[in-house]
């Protein structure tokens, strides 16, 4: 049981480039989400999904796209990377019964030059 798997763990981009952060979970969780973590600002919600085919915006969605074609996968796309998107990104999932516990991936450190 791998839990929540994120790739890549590290990535360096140039301004204007696009990329996709991959997230997969094998716990059959309906709820999945993406957060960014910046020093002194905690974890801020970017986008979330309550099930396949359903996505919605969180607190800081600008510059990011998501899709949820399957229960397992929830990729995050950076459309045109900007230095302000330099951050650590976490994918997280939660069970259908809303246990209240978020299961996080290991994180992806993104640097935009």
Partner 1 sequence: GENVEQHPSTLSVQEGDSAVIKCTYSDSASNYFPWYKQELGKRPQLIIDIRSNVGEKKDQRIAVTLNKTAKHFSLHITETQPEDSAVYFCAAISDNYGQNFVFGPGTRLSVLP
In the complex, the residues that contact partner 1 under the rule CB under 8 A are 31, 33, 35, 40-45, 48, 50, 56, 58-59, 90, 98, 100-102, 104-107
Please work out, in degrees rounded to the nearest 5, the angle formed at the alpha carbon of residue 20 by the alpha carbons of 100 and 70: 55
Q: Which is nearer to partner 1, 47 or 81 (CB)?
A: 47
Q: Which is nearer to partner 1, 56 or 79 (CB)?
A: 56
Which residue reads 């600008």 in tokens? 62
Least distance in angstroms from the C-beta of 69 to partner 1: 21
Least distance in angstroms from the C-beta of 77 to partner 1: 20
Contact 63, 82 (CB under 8 A): yes
Q: Which is nearer to partner 1, 50 or 52 (CB)?
A: 50
Beta bridge partners of 104: 92
Q: Rounded to an integer, what distance in angstroms lies between the CA atom of residue 32 and that of residue 74?
A: 7
Least distance in angstroms from the C-beta of 58 to partner 1: 7
Three-state secondary-structure class, residue 63:
coil
């Amino acid at each position: 049981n791998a839990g929540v798997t994120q790739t890549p763990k590290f990535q360096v981009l140039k301004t204007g480039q696009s990329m996709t952060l991959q997230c997969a979970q094998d716990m059959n969780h309906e709820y999945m989400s993406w957060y960014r973590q910046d020093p002194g600002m905690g974890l801020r919600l970017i986008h979330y999904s309550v099930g396949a085919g359903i996505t919605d915006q969180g607190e800081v969605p600008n510059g990011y796209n998501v899709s949820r074609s399957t229960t397992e996968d929830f990729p995050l796309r950076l459309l045109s990377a900007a230095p302000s998107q330099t951050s650590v990104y976490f994918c997280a999932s939660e069970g259908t019964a809303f246990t209240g516990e978020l299961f996080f991936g290991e994180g992806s450190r993104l640097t935009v030059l």
